[in-house]
Amino acid sequence: MGKPQSSIPRHRDPGEQQPRAYPYASGGWGSVKAVTHILVQEKAVLRDLRILPHQNKPDGFMCVSCSWAKPAHPHTFEFCENGAKATAWDTTSKRADRAFFERHTVTELLGWHDHDIEDAGRLTEPMRYDENSDRYVPVSWDAAFEAIGAELRALDPDSVVFYSSGRASLETSYMLQLFARMYGTNNMPDSSNMCHESTSVGLTQAIGVGVGTVGLDDFEHTDLMFFFGQNVGTNSPRMLHQLQDARRRGVPIITFNPLREPGLISFANPQSPRDMLLPGDTKISTQYHQLRPGGDSAVLAGMCKVVIEAHDEAMALGGADILDTAFIRDHTTGFEDFANWARSAKWHDIERYSGLPRESIEEAARAYMQAKAVIAHYGMGMTQHRLGVQNVRLLCNLLFLRGNIGKPGAGPSPVRGHSNVQGQRTVGITEKPELAPLDQLARQFNFEPPREAGFNTVEAFEAMIDGRVRAVVNLGGNLVRAVPDRVRTEPAWRNLGLTVNIATKLNRSHLIHGRQAWLLPCLSRIEIDRTGGREQVVSMEDSTARFHGSRGVAEPASAHIRSEPFIVAGLARATLRERSTVDWRAWSEAYSLVRDEIAQTWPDVFHDFEKRMWTPGGFMRPLPARERMWKTKSGKAEFHVPESLDEDPDMPGSEPGALRLMTLRADGQFNTTIYDLDDRFRGVHGSRMVLLMNREDMDERGVETGDRITLCTVANDGILREVAGLAAMPYDVPRGCLGGYYPECNPLLPLWHYAKESKVPAAKSIPVRVVAVEKPGKR
């Protein structure tokens, strides 16, 4: 089974896995080597060497990898190893064309490794699933649109889900939300439902905007940075430029992460000859605290306690303020309740739930009290927990105590994932009707939008499992791999009546298909878009709320693929027919018309869109919290009193022998896209079926390096969730805590194990038990 010509070794025996510490700093020569490797693997060398200099340039294309800010004065090569990999992956010369689908049945392809499925190359023409031959077969665009439109018209709109994965442009996203609402549903989950939704909920409650307030300019003014649960070297490497500059100014960086991440320890800039030649790498983290997974609320509460009590003491002794009392008085509400809670919090509980000694928390708090302007960066280590929203609220509490928001060099900095995930939300992709300007859309397009809440990602799968959802239309993504609880979600997906996938490459979610299934291949943003006979451009929003234009530079992978706006317009036209007041064809032939409509819907954000989208460094969306204006319920920044510091009150995770599993990303992947089987920073090579374990936890269970572990979820809900064949590897993680890879470990995550309020799956704290240990050497 499988594809013999695979360019990387497949299914290499995980028993061969030997831990080897990564000897280099993040970036550096290893990074150059990894880029060269992927260019060769994708047979894309010459083309890509011409393409890469346009990446993240004011007049070039915006990288399809992470969403980190694009500077106004970019480096000559404003991309990182992973951005280069993402570009090579899209501009590959490999093709999953009609000959490919003639050679392979869907059942056969299902036996392939995820890497090999996507590595088949770019999709080249529209396809429909043919039951008789068990193959995807070519179909014309018009026939595809007509057939899908007819199916959708026959369905109840509330039984259809429109998922967006976070990469599509503002123009496409705006068109998709309008199409879905005109069709009659708010069922618009997106990838942020599994990602930073805890941020969108928590920051909105605390400061009145659902996004971070920090921009690149703030890095020049900060004098302390925190990193909570974000792995910058792997997941937003371009940010290392700013971190390195800040470190050179002597700015301390304090990291809280259960795992000692080599990418958070030191950095060598592969684009700086000086750094490459000098051995002394820049140190990234000046303090590194290995809390236990889910311990962030306790750490943040502990730091707040130290600061508040230090202020109390200073007041008693007639000393100077430690709290920013003017900020607290003029700008916040709820301080007294929180301060009293913090004063009464017990160190015993804080230590127990954080897994850190009091001294470590005090050390971090002391640095915080000495700093005038503080940025708090954070990622999935904070948001993907039962108390993910509370984590975000307590981070804000800590910042409020010393007025660290709405001034240069300070503020919360959620580091977003997908390159336009923040922007999709800005232009109306949301299942929450209160977040979309429904009245404005109703006036602008003369229709009655649905007012009921739609499904987020978890709810969409709950509804799929019990049969309420019959069809999905996916704008990118690979949901079958990305969501929890594979034993329940895969069969539900397979039971669907209709699956429509707008995608660049084949993945497993296309192979586990509905009764009717369609593959609609689209252009990548890197490619020149000549829809309507002229060159079209698109736009996106980065992680710091700046909007940028993006212009493709590479020739399209095939003459028969279409742009995302063209495909969404085609589906909308064929589905809505005369019900729609929109000239979808005209929109898909001139995206500036779509931008005009976006500007009309949100004039304060998008006025003069056409002109401003080429501003170097992007143009900024108004962020009232940055100006110390609070669009919250109370009109103030809101302190929050935590309900509990125990991350998993409802999971029997504390039962004897239970361990907490964090599911992580390797540097050889972008989410479910597996570029290669290596995680060089963590010293893992040739396999992703690896379990990072604390040495003492291994000894206690008689586990040796390379033993194959079977894990089972501790959930007491009668469902067996198991993953077998994980090669044990000793790693610097706290006792009781495990690291495994996403998506391989997703079968262990129950669908109902999610953050309260945001429903982000709690992927960083899955209670599991070791149920079998196999010794490969001793068979």
Ligand X SMILES: Nc1nc2c(c(=O)[nH]1)N[C@H]1C(S)=C(S)[C@@H](COP(=O)(O)OP(=O)(O)OC[C@H]3O[C@@H](n4cnc5c(=O)[nH]c(N)nc54)[C@H](O)[C@@H]3O)O[C@H]1N2
Pick the stretch among 459-467, 520-528, 582-590, 636-644 that binds ligand X (CB under 6 A). Answer: 520-528
Pick the stretch among 204-212, 253-261, 335-343, 424-432 that binds ligand X (CB under 6 A). Answer: 253-261
Cβ-based neighbours of 103, under 8 Å, separated by 6 or more: none
Helix (H, G, I), strand (E, B) or coil at 767: strand
Which residue from 176, 475, 568, 594 is in contact with ligand X, where contact means CB under 6 A?
475
Which residue from 186, 235, 290, 430 is in contact with ligand X, where contact means CB under 6 A?
235
Site string for Mo ion, 369-408 (x = CB under 5 A): ----------------------------------------
- With binding defined as CB under 6 A, does residue 379 bind ligand X? yes
Give the C-alpha separation, 673 to 676, whole Å: 9
The string over 405-418, giving b where at least 16 C-beta atoms fall within 10 Å of a residue's C-beta and e elsewhere, is bbbebbbbbbbbbb
- With binding defined as CB under 6 A, does residue 160 bind ligand X? no
Burial class (CB within 10 angstroms; exposed 0-12, middle 13-18, buried 19+) of 336: exposed
Segment 411-430, which members bind Mo ion (CB under 5 A)?
A: 417
- Choose among Mo ion, ligand X, none what residue 672 binds, the Cβ cut-off being 5 to 8 Å by kind: ligand X
Which residue from 122, 665, 682, 685 is in contact with ligand X, where contact means CB under 6 A?
665
- With binding defined as CB under 6 A, does residue 524 bind ligand X? yes
Considering beta carbons, is residue 601 or 671 the nearer one to ligand X? 671
Segment 558-597, which members bind ligand X (CB under 6 A)?
A: 564
- With binding defined as CB under 6 A, does residue 662 bind ligand X? yes
Q: What share of the chain is helix, strand, coil (3-state, %, to 5)?
A: 40, 15, 40
DSSP 265: T
- With binding defined as CB under 6 A, does residue 118 bind ligand X? yes
**DSSP string computed for 210-260:** SS----GGGGGT-SEEEEES--HHHH-TTHHHHHHHHHHTT--EEEE-SS-
- With binding defined as CB under 6 A, does residue 747 bind ligand X? no
CB of 430 to Mo ion, least distance (A): 16
Which residue from 178, 522, 651, 674 is in contact with ligand X, where contact means CB under 6 A?
522
Give the C-alpha separation, 617 to 549, whole Å: 10
- With binding defined as CB under 6 A, does residue 477 bind ligand X? yes
Give the C-alpha separation, 556 to 562, whole Å: 9
CB of 418 to Mo ion, least distance (A): 6
- With binding defined as CB under 6 A, does residue 194 bind ligand X? yes
CB of 260 to ligand X, least distance (A): 9
Q: Which of 63, 427, 413, 424 is nearest to 215 (CA)?
A: 413
DSSP 540: E
- With binding defined as CB under 6 A, does residue 404 bind ligand X? no
- Choose among ligand X, Mo ion, none what residue 135 binds, the Cβ cut-off being 5 to 8 Å by kind: none
Number of residues that bind Mo ion (CB under 5 A): 2
Considering beta carbons, is residue 339 or 664 the nearer one to ligand X? 664
**Cis peptide, bond prior to residue 656, ω within 30 of zero:** no
Which residue from 8, 322, 323, 503 is in contact with ligand X, where contact means CB under 6 A?
503
Backbone phi, psi, residue 739, to 5°: -120, 130
- Edge to edge, what strands does the sheet with 516-521 contain? 135-138, 127-130, 516-521, 498-503, 471-475, 160-164
CB of 194 to Mo ion, least distance (A): 7
Token reading at 133: 């031959």
Pick the stretch among 129-137, 180-188, 329-337, 476-484 that binds ligand X (CB under 6 A). Answer: 476-484
- Choose among Mo ion, ligand X, none what residue 763 binds, the Cβ cut-off being 5 to 8 Å by kind: ligand X
Cβ-based neighbours of 127, under 8 Å, separated by 6 or more: 98, 101, 136, 137, 138, 139, 518, 519, 521
DSSP 717: S
- With binding defined as CB under 6 A, does residue 671 bind ligand X? yes
Q: Which of 478, 422, 457, 427 is nearest to 176 (CA)?
A: 427
- Residues in the chain, total: 779
Considering beta carbons, is residue 637 or 763 the nearer one to ligand X? 763
CB of 235 to ligand X, least distance (A): 3
CB of 337 to ligand X, least distance (A): 26
Pick the stretch among 195-203, 436-444, 484-492, 734-742 that binds Mo ion (CB under 5 A). Answer: 195-203
Backbone phi, psi, residue 434, to 5°: -70, -15
Q: Is the dihedral of CA 715, 716, 721, 725 positive or negative?
A: positive
Interacting residues toward ligand X by CB under 6 A: 65-66, 82, 118, 165-168, 191, 194-195, 228-231, 234-236, 256-259, 261, 291, 293-294, 296, 379-381, 384, 417-418, 475-479, 482, 502-505, 507, 522, 524-525, 564, 662-665, 667, 669-673, 742, 746, 749, 763-764
Binding site for Mo ion (CB under 5 A): 195, 417
